[in-house]
Structures are given as structure tokens and as C-alpha cells.
Amino acid sequence: MRKIPLYEKGGIINESGGEYCTVRLRIPAGLITVDQMEGIVRIARKFNTEVHLTTRQTLELVHVLPASLDLLAEDLAANGTPVGAEKAEIVNITACPGTNRCRFAMIDSISLARTLDEKFFGKEMPVKFRIAVSSCPNSCVSERLNEIGITGVVRPYRVPGTCTGCGTCVQYCREKAIAIKNGQIKMDEERCVHCGMCIHSCPFHIIKAEPPAYHITIGGRRGRHPRVGYHVVTVKSPETVVKVIEMVVQWVYRKAWSDSLLPDQLETLDFESFKNELVAGLDENEIVTGY
């Protein structure tokens, strides 16, 4: 089998002018250690490059001479920040800080992004394929504008107890999904985005939360015609998220073609039938309905 030269792989981008290339790194969730950061500085100095921060939470070394690529790639791999992906393949997986740091988080987005990176990063696909994870519907990494977006969600519910009609939860809900009728709260499921903001607001603890869940969308995109992805399914565990993504990746790999973006192909690919098949193939105890 032909050994693919480094410059033909994803992650190596020809710069305008043709003399230099840019090298994109693989940094899942945009997190690196201080030692890795020092290593990147050392490598950038050694190869006389500048460093660019990208929108997909990775770094690029710019103005690299193609003749240095092999040595540069070896140094990057030894640093734990190897050459990334950019072409028709699964590219750097992004994630918000999640339960690691953010008080609004409902899921561990960073662990999930790392698991997805290990399983799927760099897989060749007919189309460029981006995956992003946000731990709540504030969607700090705009995950629903990716080929696959995973959002942490939670459903609030009212438990028996005395609602004083104080209106604190109403103030907390930015979606106007809670109203007070006859001194009692009424929740509007249509308006609720499952952000969980109301849950800790009640001084009498009568709004509780169902377990957090993973809301999965497919076919979003940024660019000149942005589009929010379509909801596929909401599931209970990161293991089932991985299973769903495996099914989506296989389906896209088999069915999609290479001259247009995935979101433009969904209708022709009969996404609705695939979605029904996918949901039917999952353990029904892992599916959360009503999202």
C-alpha cells in the first residue's frame, strides 16, 4: 500500500503563494498541559514559525517550509500534540469547559470530547465532519452548527410542596417557560430549553431535575449559509452517545458523496428513514423522549 506523504494528509494546509504551509494540531477540547504548551513554543522557535489560535480550539504553526514537515511532525507527536485534521475527515473535536469548570454544566463535555477523539479523530470521510460538545443549552461551542452536536440538557419538574408564588423561578427562566397561575407555577414544555436554571432557584426546593441527558443533532453548519442541525435523539449516557455517533459516522461514510457538505445532502440521503432506523437500533431504556 502506498505510504501517504505527510503533505497530502489532513492538517497540512497550503498557504497562498505556495511557498509555505500551515500545520494544524490535534488538541481535543482545546486543552493542553503547560508542558505541552512549552513544547509547542520550543518547536515553533526551532522551525521559525508563528502560532495561530483557531476557531476549533486548536493551534496552527504557520509559514512552515514543506521540507521541514517530517521533522516538525515528529517533534509534535513526541510533544503529545500531533498533526491534526482539516480535509474530508473527522477534525478536531471541540468542547466547552463543562463540569470541569462551569457552574451551568450538566455533562462532562471534556471527557466526552476526549473519548470521541480517541474513537473517531482523523477518520477519512466523504465530507468534512465536525463534532462539538456543549454541557448546557447556552451552547458556548455552537455545537448545533456542527455535523454532530451534543448538548447537555435537563428537564425540570415540580414536586409536591408549598409554592408561595414568590416568582423567583419565573425571574430565573429566560425563556418565559414558567408562569404563575392562581399562586402556583405552571411550566410550558414548548418554551423550555432544558437549561436547568430554574432548578436551584426555588427557596422551597420544589423544582427538581430529571437526570441530565445528551441531546444529539446532525447536519448543522457554519459558513456562508449557517444552519442549526436536526435533532436525532436524546440519550441517557455517554456510552450511548458514542454508539449513536458510530452509527451516524458509518451511515455518512457509506452514503454521502464528496462534492457537497453533509447538511446539503441530508434530504437526498433520506435522513428521516435513517433517524428512525437509528432510534430503533438503540436500547429503548437509553432514550429520553420529549426533548
Q: Which residues bind ligand SF4 (CB under 6 A)?
A: 96-98, 102, 104-105, 134-136, 138-140, 156, 163-169, 172-173, 175, 177-178, 180, 185, 187, 192-198, 201-202, 204, 206-207
* Strand locations in 6-118 (E): 12-14, 21-24, 50-53, 59-64, 94-95
Amino acid identity, position 52: H
CB of 176 to ligand SF4, least distance (A): 8
Q: Could you tell me how far CA 223 lies from the centroid of its own chain?
A: 17
All three cell numbers of 126, joined, read 466523504
Let me know: does 209 contact 199? Beta carbons within 8 Å. yes
CB atoms within 10 A of CB 269: 17
Smallest gap, in angstroms, from Cβ of residue 248 to ligand SF4? 22
Give every CB contact of residue 10 below 8 A, 6+ residues apart in sequence.
24, 84, 85, 86, 87, 88, 89, 91, 122
Residue keyed to cell 497550503: 14
Beta strands per DSSP E along 19-170:
21-24, 50-53, 59-64, 94-95, 131-134, 148-153, 156-158
Question: CB 285 → ligand SF4: shortest distance, Å?
Answer: 24
Task: Please state the closest distance from residue 131 (CB atom) to ligand SF4, in A.
Answer: 15
**3-state secondary structure string, 198-213?**
CCCCCCCCCEEECCCE
* CB closer to ligand SF4, 96 vs 248: 96
Q: Which is nearer to ligand SF4, 45 or 103 (CB)?
A: 103
SS3 state of residue 145: helix
Distance of closest approach, residue 145 Cβ to ligand SF4, in angstroms: 13
Reference 238, options 277, 195, 286, 197; nearest CA is 286
- Which residues, 6+ apart, have CB-to-CB distance to 103 below 8 Å? none
We find the least distance from the C-beta atom of residue 100 to ligand SF4, in angstroms, to be 9
Of 166 and 242, nearer to ligand SF4 (C-beta) is 166
> In the bound complex, what is the minimum distance in angstroms from residue 190's beta carbon to ligand SF4?
11
d(CA 275, CA 101): 34
Q: Which is nearer to ligand SF4, 30 or 156 (CB)?
A: 156
**Which of 134, 265 has the CB closer to ligand SF4?**
134
Identify which of residues 187 and 278 has a Cβ nearer to ligand SF4 in the complex. 187
Closer residue to ligand SF4 (CB): 95 or 127: 95
From the CB of 167, what's the least distance to ligand SF4, in Å? 5
The one-letter amino acid code at 231 reads H
**Phi, psi (rounded to 5 degrees) for 230:** -85, 140
